[in-house]
Amino acid sequence: METFSHQFTALFQQLGLASDPIAIARFIAKHAPLPTTVRLTEAPFWTSAQAQFLCDAVRLDADWAAAVDALDVALRI
């Protein structure tokens, strides 16, 4: 069974990251839990371009916003 939805795969591809389910699980395991005091877009593991993309996606309520929100939740657990 695939743990991560298609939206995570597409988001990780958009961010230039490995996007297969195992790579996504490893990324989340490596970076979670993200402290509640740190915004997703300010996490130290993003490049400036990745952080800007995430910020714009949420700020503009773009098509990517739901996937970004889901990633934020996944990194907080």
Q: How far is CA 73 from CA 1, 28, 70, 76, in A?
A: 21, 10, 5, 5
Place of tokens 């389910």: 21
pLDDT (0 to 100) of residue 2: 42
Domain 6-76, CATH number (from 1.10.10.1130, 3.10.129.10, 3.40.50.720, 3.40.50.150): 1.10.10.1130
pTM tops 0.85: yes
pLDDT (0 to 100) of residue 3: 47
The sign of the CA dihedral 32, 20, 61, 43 is positive
* Calpha distance 40→36 (Å, rounded): 9
pLDDT tens string 12-67: 999 999 999 999 999 999 999 999 999 999 999 999 999 999 999 999 988 899 99
Please report, for the chain, the start and end positions of each structural domain, with discontinuous segments joined by +.
6-76
